[in-house]
Amino acid sequence: MPYRLFSLVGKTALVTGASSGLGQHFARVLASAGAEVVLAARRLDRLQRLEAEIRANGGKAWPMLLDVTDRASVIRAFDGAEAAVGPVTILVNNAGVPSGSFFLRTSERDWRDVMDVNLDGVFRGQEGARRMAENRTGGSIINIASILGFGAIKSLSTYAASKAAVVSLTKSMALELARDRVRVNAIAPGYFSTEFNDTFLTGEAGRRLLSRVPMGRAGHLPELDGPLLLLASDSGAFMTGSVITVDGGHQLAMG
């Protein structure tokens, strides 16, 4: 099969949470595959540095302020993206926040703060889906879930609940949007080393956690590139409602 199927030339992508972590990596990968990438997050200074890096490497990127907890901000970001580069045809709903508290110690405010970003933020991506349908461009929506959407680890009940809901929402979106040529899939990563969890993963508790992963380690960010490009490109043209797990077999060991 020709590798050009993975090309994103002529496509416009918007990545939420692009200022750090997985979102930053996803933006680099999409740009390297030829997409024009709208870098969307709350920290404009970080987005501008990423834009400069991508352009220095021959890619095309535009920073755009976006707060996924604010629908008006989401609408402004899509308006800005369309004005700058045209309709968005790839949407990566990546923005998320971690949570680490036992259930009985979780306040309603903590619960609501996590859900507002991790779940409601994906729901507010409805704006991108609506435009893909109305513009008749079709497109690909990629929601970033987690293996914790399928299992449980102590002290992560709120985060796990938010990601389980993302998995369910992905399937419902896929079912309803297929008639508009909008594909909706998800990637469910296991533990990958980023600036958010480096300290934890290299500590004693992190090492114990990774010892239970069948492949015995955390993931490396480039190991997410294949699934991302498959779902974003025409290579995945007949995929919708799928959830791709990338976790070194961790889910199998969670019981």
Residue pair 119/149 in contact by the 8 Å Cβ criterion: no
| CA dist., res. 192 & res. 198, Å (int) | 9
The torsion defined by the Cα of 90, 184, 20 and 7, in degrees rounded to 10, comes to -40
**Catalytic: which of 26, 62, 159, 192?**
159
Please tell me the distance from the alpha carbon of residue 60 to that of residue 12, in angstroms, as a whole number. Answer: 10
Please report which residue ranges of the chain form alpha helices under DSSP H: 21-32, 44-56, 71-85, 108-118, 120-123, 126-135, 157-177, 198-202, 204-211, 225-232, 250-253
Is 159 a catalytic site residue? Answer: yes
Note whether 125 and 165 are within 8 A (CB): no
Residues marked as catalytic? 159
